[in-house]
Structure 1
């Protein structure tokens, strides 16, 4: 069952990678009178995003959130490689950044204990619902701020919050119980956070490099649920893995900064050529 769950998580990662590239293409083709929502590639990307999300939810029923998120972050490397046209076309900085992000995320994911409390802490629901409301309020101004890395980070927070909602809902195999989840405020928080994430990712991809946006998004999606899980859901660090967690966080931050710098260096020559 665990092997099958990992296979589902890998399928979700592949769907997310394809979605990111297609959404980036659609976002850049948007023009006045031709909004991004009418771009076929963007619509297909959204459908693949939905498929990836469903697959991730299925994987989360068996695997802890850190395990699933660590698999999903493999899209960082794949997105950057595909966007650049192959491994051989990666610069040394990009290659180092991709490797650093993946290794850092693996360490962060591996440091999380798989045990979780049987009951949901009382503070979890109001905090997650409040976060959904707050992000819904700030989504529009953030999307218009013109800073793709900031937008991607907030999108990652939204997606991370959605993952926490999935885990907190305690999905069971009881169909009646599943139907009752529709009445739970966390279910609607999950929907709100997912929509906010989609909107902000579109804004980030419009102005930023797909590889860099995906890196920031992936890091945030792991760190935010990780910290919130420790503080809010009763998750714990595996005994003896505290140093690995610290190294993983340092790798993540450094590699994201490196990828951001490399992405900007790649975009500037392209922008100058288009201007000419």
Structure 2
């Protein structure tokens, strides 16, 4: 369990670093040097990939709700980093939100049962497959809408679904068997959920305010997969920790919403 916590925290820090690199890259674009060719943007993508690897490892040891909540803490870490790098002012409400995030994350992590999380069964794969089909249909239906929040909601569900798919994957008796990976539905579900997530998140950013998109996306990605995994993948909350777990979710989600809409964030805009 300790190893899972270490990798989850590492993923949170790496997500923050990647966002800051990508954010800085957006200020350096000019004719002939688009965002995709900016070294810091490319570096941010590399760091993002490392964060994803850490997330995958963490999900092998911790319940989905614990990993997702810790990852959601990157927005609080980013708020502090933005203040240090760009000199953005943190208002009293921002400081309270950061404190709420930290307390919430500690409660959620503490609520994780010590048992090694189990894998998925055929029924779970079927449910996730049907859910992916619904999200794919929603992506097509919402692609040309003018408001951003429905797209951000689908993006949060899409990227949250990748965590559920990772937990469902059987890596084989040797720890990594390509034949085993390619022969199970969860591998393809992972690809499908990621595609839905990246398409809708990019579209949401093009349609709406970054603060609103980030708030809807992050809260959805943190809360929904964790709750689904409790029912679908048999993730467990420690005995007697149901109320602290609920309080932690409320504090973390509320802190994320406040920080996503804070003026302190707008100096350092970042993308996923």
TM-score range, shorter chain: 0.7 to 0.9
Which position in structure 1 is the counterpart of 2:195? 195
Q: Would you say how many aligned residue pairs link Structure 1 and Structure 2?
A: 266
In structure 2, the partner of 1:70 is: 69
For the aligned residue pairs, the C-alpha RMSD in angstroms reads 3.6
Structure with more helix by fraction: 1
Give yes or no for the alignment of 1:254 onto 2:257: no
Alignment of 1:118-197 (within 5 A): 120-139=120-139, 142=142, 145=145, 147=147, 150-174=150-174, 177=177, 179-197=179-197
Tell me, in whole angstroms, the C-alpha distance in 1 between the residues paired with 2:107 and 2:242: 10
Q: Could you list the runs of 5+ residues in structure 1 that have no partner in the other structure?
A: 271-276
Q: 1:190/1:208 Cα in 2 relative to 1: closer, same or farther (>3 Å)?
A: same
Per-residue CA deviations over 1:146-202 (Å, capped at 9, x if unaligned) read 555554443222221111111112334525755312121210110122233334444
Asked whether the 8 Å contact 1:149–1:208 carries over to 2, the reply is: no
Distance, in Å, in 2 between the alignment partners of 1:132 and 1:116 is 26
Which whole-Å CA distance do the structure 2 matches of 1:60 and 1:121 have between them? 17
Aligned to 1:273: none
2:229 matched residue in structure 1: 229
Q: CA deviation at 1:34?
A: 7.7
Quote the Cα distance in structure 2 between the aligned partners of 1:36 and 1:146. Answer: 24
Q: Secondary structure at the match of 2:56?
A: helix
Q: TM-score, normalised by structure 1?
A: 0.76
The list of structure 1 runs, each at least 4 consecutive aligned residues, that deviate by more than 6 angstroms after superposition, is 28-35
Higher relative contact order (CA 8 A, sep 6+): 2
How far did residue 228 of structure 1 move? 0.7
| Cα offsets for 1:98-128 (capped at 9, x unmatched) | 2223322433343343446756344210111
Compared with structure 1, are the counterparts of its residues 58 and 258 closer, same or farther at alpha carbon in structure 2 (3 Å cutoff)? closer
Q: How far apart, in 1, do the equivalents of 2:119 and 2:164 lie? A: 14
- Unpaired runs of 5+ residues, structure 2, are none
Q: 2:62 touches 2:116 (CA, 8 Å); kept in 1? A: no
**Given the two structures, how large is their TM-score scaled by the length of structure 2?**
0.77
